[in-house]
């Protein structure tokens, strides 16, 4: 690797980052230029590896304005052997004060797609060589407002939450929500545990929350958040069987009634029964995100 040059980007050469062809153009993700414009990306947190004057590796750490946490690796592409990516990450980590989390974004069902595997194997191997360890995977699903949902059973009723106190009381009684969307951003940007204190992150009116009732008693709670970046089911927890699908469908319809054309929801990849129910309602997988954390 004697001809390898690893360095940060400098202001004014942002086009150098985009000179490397996108290995996964089918992914729906913000561009580097939009990240610069919003202030999340910055040349000081963007590193490149060049060989023969050509960009063969690039990495951009994201830190939204006002974030209380540290930056995380959001974009990492590699068109060279893993050792090149390892050298790039080691140099950047030294400048950034240590290794940071890496969120690797993949197309859905990426393990079954040889073309995608060919694009992601090298950067994932480089991350491991640089001391990052794969911890978890979350799948993002999207529901189009034009997609019909299954007919409601009639066993549940739904209404908006009345106040923050009602939401907090129900959250306290739910051991673990079935799904949370945007949990990484809540933690990294504002230090909020979205599963335990969702109202510290979701600042919309309580009436955005949907409550499922059986026989007049609450059995489920969902945050149909229309103002959290884009329409999403930011939180959904249940207190009984047979609630998830109907509450999810009710929340998606509530968002569509307020003008949402698409609704997203994130599910842990190791929850196959939840994934099956989300897909039954009409949600379609649009991406996976793998978390790599510094090894302890």
pLDDT of 30 over the 90 cut = no
In a domain, 294, yes or no: no
- Answer yes or no: do 234 and 269 share one domain: yes
Supply the pTM of this predicted model: 0.93
Q: Where is the domain boundary, 83, 102, 130?
A: 130
Percent of the chain with pLDDT over 70: 98
Q: Are the C-beta atoms of residues 81 and 118 closer than 8 Å to each other? A: no
- Answer yes or no: do 149 and 282 share one domain: yes
In a domain, 54, yes or no: yes
CB neighbour list of residue 132: distance below 8 Å, 6 or more residues apart: 89, 99, 101, 102, 292, 293, 294, 295
- Answer yes or no: do 187 and 280 share one domain: yes
- Answer yes or no: do 211 and 235 share one domain: yes
In a domain, 293, yes or no: no
- CATH code assigned at 246: 3.40.630.30
- Answer yes or no: do 83 and 197 share one domain: no
Q: Where is the domain boundary, 86, 107, 130?
A: 130
In a domain, 137, yes or no: no
- Answer yes or no: do 198 and 91 share one domain: no
pLDDT of 226 over the 80 cut = no
The residue segments making up the domain with residue 56 are: 4-130
In a domain, 138, yes or no: no
- Answer yes or no: do 113 and 150 share one domain: no
DSSP class of 45:
G
pLDDT band at 212 (very low <50, low <70, confident <90, very high): very high
| CA 40 vs CA 127, 137, 259: distances in Å | 22, 23, 28
| CA 274 vs CA 17, 89, 253: distances in Å | 38, 35, 19
- Answer yes or no: do 176 and 115 share one domain: no
**Residue 16: burial class (beta carbons within 10 Å; 0-12, 13-18, 19+):** middle
Q: Where is the domain boundary, 75, 103, 130?
A: 130
Q: Which of 48, 49, 43, 93 is nearest to 72 (CA)?
A: 93
- Answer yes or no: do 82 and 124 share one domain: yes
Q: How high is the mean pLDDT of the chain?
A: 94
- Answer yes or no: do 147 and 126 share one domain: no
- Give me the mean pLDDT over the 261-287 stretch: 96
Q: Are the C-beta atoms of residues 194 and 179 closer than 8 Å to each other? A: no
What total of structural domains would you count in the chain? 2
Task: Output the pLDDT for position 185.
Answer: 87
- Answer yes or no: do 256 and 177 share one domain: yes
Instruction: Tell me the C-alpha distance between 122 and 200, whole Å.
Output: 38
190: helix, strand or coil: helix
238: helix, strand or coil: strand
Give the tens place of pLDDT for each residue, 35-66. 999 999 999 999 999 999 999 999 999 999 98
Task: Output the pLDDT for position 296.
Answer: 64
The encoded tokens of residue 11 equal: 């202001």
The encoded tokens of residue 156 equal: 């549940």
| CA 284 vs CA 78, 105, 228: distances in Å | 28, 16, 20
- Answer yes or no: do 55 and 82 share one domain: yes
Give the tens place of pLDDT for each residue, 107-166. 999 999 999 999 999 999 999 999 999 999 999 999 999 999 998 899 999 999 999 999
| CA 282 vs CA 4, 174, 251: distances in Å | 48, 25, 13
């Amino acid at each position: 690797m004697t001809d390898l040059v690893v360095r940060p980007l400098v202001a004014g050469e942002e086009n150098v980052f985009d000179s490397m062809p996108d290995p996964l153009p089918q992914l729906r993700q913000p561009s580097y230029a939009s990240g610069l414009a919003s202030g999340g990306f910055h040349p000081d947190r963007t590193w490149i590896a060049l060989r023969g004057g050509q960009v063969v590796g690039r990495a951009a750490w994201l830190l939204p304005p006002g974030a209380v946490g540290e930056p995380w690796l959001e974009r990492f592409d590699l068109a060279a052997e893993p050792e090149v990516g390892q050298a790039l990450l080691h140099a950047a980590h030294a400048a950034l004060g240590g290794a940071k989390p890496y969120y690797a974004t993949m197309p859905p069902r990426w393990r079954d797609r040889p073309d995608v595997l060919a694009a992601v194997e090298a950067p994932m191997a480089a991350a491991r060589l640089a001391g990052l360890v794969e911890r978890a995977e979350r799948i993002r699903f999207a529901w189009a407002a034009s997609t019909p949902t299954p007919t409601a059973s009639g066993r549940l009723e739904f209404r908006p939450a009345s106040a923050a106190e009602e939401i907090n009381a129900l959250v306290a009684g739910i051991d673990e929500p079935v799904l949370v969307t945007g949990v990484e951003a809540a933690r990294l940007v504002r230090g909020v545990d979205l599963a335990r204190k969702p109202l510290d992150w979701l600042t919309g009116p309580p009436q955005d929350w949907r409550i499922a009732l059986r026989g007049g008693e609450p059995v489920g709670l969902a945050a149909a958040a229309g103002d959290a970046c884009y329409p999403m089911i930011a939180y959904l927890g249940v207190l009984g069987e047979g609630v998830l699908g109907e509450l999810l469908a009710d929340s998606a319809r509530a968002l569509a009634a307020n003008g949402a054309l698409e609704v997203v929801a994130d599910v842990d990849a190791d929850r196959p029964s939840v994934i099956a129910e989300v897909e039954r309602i009409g949600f379609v997988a649009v991406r996976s995100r793998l978390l790599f954390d510094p090894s302890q």
